[in-house]
Chain A
Amino acid sequence: MAAPETSTAAVPTLHTNNTVRNAFGGVLSFFILLLIGVLAFSIRLFSVIKYESVIHEFDPYFNYRVTQFLTKKGIYDFWNWFDDRTWYPLGRVIGGTVYPGLTLTAGTIWWLLNSLNIPLSVETVCVFTAPIFSAFASWATYLLTKEVKGAGAGLTAAVLLAMVPSYISRSVAGSYDNEAVAIFALIFTFYLYIKTLNTGSLFYATLNSIAYFYMVCSWGGYTFIINLIPMHVLLCIVTGRYSSRLYIAYAPLVVLGTLLAALVPVVGFNAVMTSEHFASFLVFIIIHVVAFVYYIKGILSPKMFKVAVTLVVSVGLAVCCAVIAVLIALVASSPTKGWSGRSLSLLDPTYASKYIPIIASVSEHQPPTWPSYFMDINVLAFLVPAGIIACFLPLTDASSFVVLYIATSVYFSGVMVRLMLVLAPAACITSGIALSEAFDALTGSIKFQLPGVSTDAEVDAGETSSDTTEAQNDEVKAEKPEETSKDRRSKKSKKKEREHVERPSAKAKVKTKAEKKRLLALPLEASAVSLLLLIVLGAFYVVHCVWAAAEAYSAPSIVLTSRSRDGLHVFDDFREAYSWLRHNTDVDDKVASWWDYGYQTTAMANRTVIVDNNTWNNTHIATVGTAMSSPEKAAWEIFHSLDVKYVLVVFGGLVGYPSDDINKFLWMVRIGGGVFPHIKEPDYLRDGQYRIDSQATPTMLNCLMYKLSYYRFVETDGKAYDKVRRTEIGKKYFKLTHFEEVFTTHHWMVRIYKLKAPKNRIRGKTKKSKSKTSSSSSSKTSGTKKKNPWH
């Protein structure tokens, strides 16, 4: 809006020329956005090209399975789905415990395509959902940044987000996880919030609550929104920026958003009962009090107002104290203070490692290292501070939101690697602002310095986006520059009155601006060199992102490849094992494995598992952990009591696959020991060191996990050299008495054992064997037996 306005003021004849230029700019930015979308989509296809169109990793397999169920059975069966294939014998209510956003999105896309007679399989739709939504996310970033700092910054931020490695890591083709759609929903919700804040339109406020609803459907990270927006509102109120626009942006969001959030089964009454949401209600009350005060201030004389304030403050303080005391008492009565474990570990980073080993055991819940920042956001890490500074010049409601967003997300990403994902959009937005401001300043000064162009400089200055933002400061209603006088006349007429008021000041601004420009202009050489350097920096970022997308983040992790002198080696052992289970075991057989492989087993092998990646029942996981860390007989008894027929272990010792069960074993001991105290971690450690060689403790060498992993391993090379631990194993020759090997994959990465049927009881024999075991086994094992939870 500002651009055509100032130009008409300066040179009236330029008006038509500028309209054409703006229209051209609009078309250009449309095509740039289209290309950004294509870029965001195609940079994520490396996994399909290098590997295949397949679902990745662990959680995506569950989402894929749910989507299959949804497309096969329909939405009502989906809400009522009780899954008896997992958590045997407990089962799991899927409809009420899953964030349905992703599934419903992919299901809708599939349904739409099929009703147009485009017969894509559910798998294909699931694989490509994430890249599609990352294109949407970059468009949403454009919109958000445009609201904050104009179209130039928007385009830059969108390009940066389209290929930020942190986001690529969660949204490559096949990575069918909640985050894929949630990041789009997050950015879009923020955009609509800023848009409402800038326009004060109730229409956008309603859209904002719907976007928030979509976010709640998609990801547990929605609590970030419902805490960040209140924080921003509070910030605005404290810094004296309260306006009716702020009220419209916030109050409908809380009311509608909370109502809508409560509709999602997995959230339900949590939307009003847990501490994560309390901040929003508190700020909701505050904003009403503030609104009321402003209203009263408007109708009372200043003297009367002062009296009223003292009266209200004294009464109000008393009431507030009482309410807060009640709230604190309520919250304190619950053991976790009303916070969920994951949220608590965000506030207190040491919480999980102290109390919940199951959260601490997940690698993506660990704090990140410095290199991972460089890996995931690369040069953005250096541009972010510049962007924050740019946000303060000048500070608007919108730019203060961006500052708050980047500050909180930096903190959260410092607690959990996984939340680097929330940081990425914020980093892109601030870096986009920084880059675009820098380009503006540099190109502006080059333009200013170059002879011949300098006469136009005054006019051009009016069009640069930095100017737009300055104008935005005065009139927050800055409209899209491409909005010509032809369309949306009605909207324009509404704003005319306001502009009339501001026009004289704007005119004055233009004159002073030219002066300012002259002062701020950099020398030609310096600006040219720094422009070049910025381009090099951008190029470095692009190269890094493409490398990250192609090499680091595109491996599907269920199929591994290694390059050696004699060509490409493919390790497809996981699917070999799952396929074997699927076709050669009974449909109702139960398979026990560590919980990492639960989702994959149910999705790929279609067999019932005991525990899976939805770690909702710690005791159940601890039972499996206990069985894995017990000696063979005790383990057999635990598994037998759980009706388990097959035990699956992942073993990397033959080919050197490091994330196998032996390396995860200490977590099994810890989690098992957390519930069943007879499993003690020190029993498995020799002098505090975890080892499986000849120095290992007898408890370690006799536990089930060791035996199942290394059974007959010595026969492969004669020495039993473990390539992951880089040592020869401690106990090489042993027999299994209660388990038998039924399948081992080609590279030994997955080994499946069957529980032997219980022996027929012959009176004399059982007695004999019992006395034998008790006499032969150490006191520790007999102690184990007594404390065995399954007796």
Chain B
Amino acid sequence: MEAPIRATHILGFALFFLLFFVCRSSPLHDLLISSAERRIDLTSHIVKVYLTLKVENAGSSPTSEILLAFPPTQVDHLATVEALVTKGKRKKTTLVRLDVKPTELPDAPNGTKYFTIYLANPLNSGESTTLEVLYLFTHSLEPFPAEIGQSESQLVYYRDSALILSPYHIKQQTTFIKTPSTKVESFTRVEPTNRAGTEMKYGPYEDHPPYSSSPILIHFENNSPFPVVEELVREVEISHWGNLQVTEQYTLVHGGARHKGVFSRVEYQSRPTLSGTSSLRYLLARLPPRVHSVYYRDEIGNISSSHLRTDSRKSELEIEPRYPLFGGWKATFIIGYGLPLQDFLFESSDDRRYLNFTFGCPLLETVVDKLTVKVVLPEGSKDPSAVVPFPVEQHLETKYSYLDVVGRTVVVMEKKNLVPSHNSHFQVHYTFKPIFMLAEPLMLASAFFLFFVACVAYLHIDLSIRK
């Protein structure tokens, strides 16, 4: 283990100097991290990393940008990055959210990707601040063995680096890794390394130059099911008659170790603790309060195994797929529900209306690979614009629903790789004249009127040729 580490050190130093000479002018190396603590939570299939950085400005000029670095293998699985800064002193500390944006640097070593944290107040030279960074990875636990039988437990690999990848010099760092159970098959030791119960401690490591890394591999038991929604289409239809209809189409897959060979119902039923422990038996969806007419079905009909619990603050829908999902098994289903419009639709000051709704997937602890949110505006609405707290792909479509003539404008938003923390609110603004609400009733009324007139006319006209 020593030799490769030294090699990376040398490489790191080389890169460091190279960078130092190339971009002297940038404030990159004026900063240094005096202490860093990282906590990696591996209990579910979404890997949560809490990073506490104490950043010090050792340069001469004030700076307000701090870079976070990620290796390219991790960046593909990175779902979200959040940064918070503590304000105030002692007991009156409050956390303030900071802007984080992906950044391209011209000569990143080994394809390293960066995120920039923008501080609210520039950090003057000599000052230091503490940042709390939270980021989540999906699909980062690799099942090994990749295929398991019904009664075997699910073992997974987690790969990371014992040292935090950073473009800055880190004086002191520690990494804590929490596993779901005490059953750990193997793990890489980078001294000093300790393991106690479900927690492993790497470090503290002192004085590591920028871009230093030390790969580690942990092989441990994770029997929690890995619910992954491969594709989710949420359609939110606004009706100004007072209803908001939501339809969600799921393609669910168990992303854990693939099921191999026999599925025996008798074992599954008689020994639920031993057999099929990592199988996905039920899911919990958290829906908004005052939800009504909830349905849960798939392409061949209603699925009868679901429970709805409602109270004044939230509604919980517990759903069971038609069959327990073992690793690699798939299921598709549709959840639909109606909501009172006044909870979600508001009028803004400039005579426009806006819908305020949650973006992500209502299922708990679920990764969504691809999410499409479609907001169907009522017929006759104009100038739609969407405000989403994170970057999404947007375009407009037209949909024809009940007796539409010109069609309804649909705002389509697409995003890949979502985790539950994306369940924040988004807004769609549009203008709508209430007179359009009467278009369809008037159309129907006139159609019936014409029909009756035609009937009366037919009865009163003598069409015979010969009298």
Contact surface of A with B, Cβ cutoff 8 Å: 52, 54, 116-119, 487, 489-491, 493, 558-559, 570, 572, 575-576, 578-580, 582-584, 604, 712, 715-716, 740-746, 748
Contact = CB atoms under 8 A, between A and B. Distances in A.
Nearest to B302: A52
Contact of B322 (A117, A493, A579, A748): A579
Contacts of B302: 52, 54
The main secondary structure of chain B at its interface with chain A is: loop
B402 A118 contact: yes
A579 B331 contact: yes
Contact of B265 (A116, A575, A579, A748): A748
Q: Which 10 A-B pairs have the closest CB atoms?
A: A490-B464, A744-B265, A583-B330, A54-B301, A52-B302, A570-B304, A576-B322, A117-B400, A715-B266, A579-B322
6 contacts: A489-B462, A489-B464, A576-B322, A716-B269, A741-B264, A744-B266
Nearest to B295: A52
Given A489-B464, A575-B301, A743 B263 contact: yes
B304 A117 contact: no
A249 to B, nearest CB: 24
B329 A583 contact: yes
Interface string B251-265: 000000000011111
B303 A572 contact: yes
Contacts of A491: 464
Given A117-B404, A490-B464, A740 B262 contact: yes
Contacts of A712: 264, 266
A742 B404 CA distance: 48
Interface in B448-467: 459-460, 462, 464, 466-467
B340 to A, nearest CB: 23
Given A54-B302, A118-B402, A578-B300, 12 more contacts: A487-B459, A493-B467, A558-B301, A572-B303, A575-B300, A576-B323, A583-B329, A583-B331, A716-B270, A741-B262, A742-B263, A744-B264
Nearest to B401: A119
B266 to A, nearest CB: 5
Contacts of B217: none
B403 interface: yes
B322 A580 contact: yes
Nearest to A577: B323
B290 to A, nearest CB: 25
Interface residues of B, number: 34
B322 A716 contact: no
Nearest to B463: A490
Given A54-B302, A118-B403, A580-B322, A745 B265 contact: yes
Nearest to A742: B263
Contacts of A741: 262-265
A125 B18 CA distance: 71
Contacts of A578: 300
A715 B261 CA distance: 20
Nearest to A174: B301
B266 A579 contact: no
Nearest to A716: B266
B329 A584 contact: yes
B332 interface: yes
Contacts of B262: 740-742
Interface in B389-436: 400-405
Interface in B323-382: 323, 328-332
Contacts of B400: 117, 119
Interface in B280-335: 298, 300-305, 322-323, 328-332
Nearest to A580: B323
A489 B459 CA distance: 12
Contacts of A716: 266, 269-270
Interface of B: 261-266, 269-270, 298, 300-305, 322-323, 328-332, 400-405, 459-460, 462, 464, 466-467
Contact of B300 (A119, A579, A744, A746): A579
A559 B332 contact: no
Contacts of A487: 459-460, 462
Contacts of A119: 400-402
B332 A583 contact: yes
B147 to A, nearest CB: 14
A741 B268 CA distance: 13
A572 B330 CA distance: 18
B400 to A, nearest CB: 5
B304 A559 contact: yes
B323 A743 contact: yes
Contacts of A583: 329-332
A119 B400 CA distance: 8
Nearest to A571: B304
Contacts of A559: 301, 304
Nearest to B261: A740
A582 B466 CA distance: 66
Select the residue from B269, B301, B305, B400 with max chain A CB neighbours within 10 A. B301
Contacts of B403: 116-118
A745 B402 contact: no
B25 to A, nearest CB: 57
A734 to B, nearest CB: 14
A575 B322 contact: yes
Nearest to B298: A579
Contacts of A742: 262-263
Contacts of B330: 583-584
A52 B301 contact: yes
A117 B330 CA distance: 33
A492 to B, nearest CB: 10
Nearest to A61: B300
A617 to B, nearest CB: 27
A746 B268 CA distance: 10
A744 B400 CA distance: 42
A746 B263 CA distance: 12
B320 to A, nearest CB: 10
Contacts of B301: 52, 54, 558-559, 575
A743 B304 CA distance: 20
B457 to A, nearest CB: 12
A600 B115 CA distance: 53
A579 B323 contact: yes
A712 B269 CA distance: 13
Contacts of A489: 462, 464, 467
A568 to B, nearest CB: 9
B27 to A, nearest CB: 54
B402 A117 contact: yes
Contacts of B300: 54, 575, 578-579, 582, 604
A712 B266 CA distance: 8
Contacts of B270: 715-716
A582 B263 CA distance: 16
A431 B270 CA distance: 59
Given A118-B403, A119-B402, A572 B264 contact: no
Contacts of A54: 300-302
Contacts of A604: 300
A146 to B, nearest CB: 20
A576 B298 CA distance: 11
Contacts of B323: 576, 579-580, 743, 745-746
A490 B466 contact: yes
A716 B304 CA distance: 24
A746 B269 CA distance: 9
A604 B332 CA distance: 13
A23 B302 CA distance: 49
B466 to A, nearest CB: 7
A746 B322 CA distance: 9
A559 B322 CA distance: 13
B261 to A, nearest CB: 7
Nearest to B303: A572
B458 to A, nearest CB: 9
A220 B182 CA distance: 70
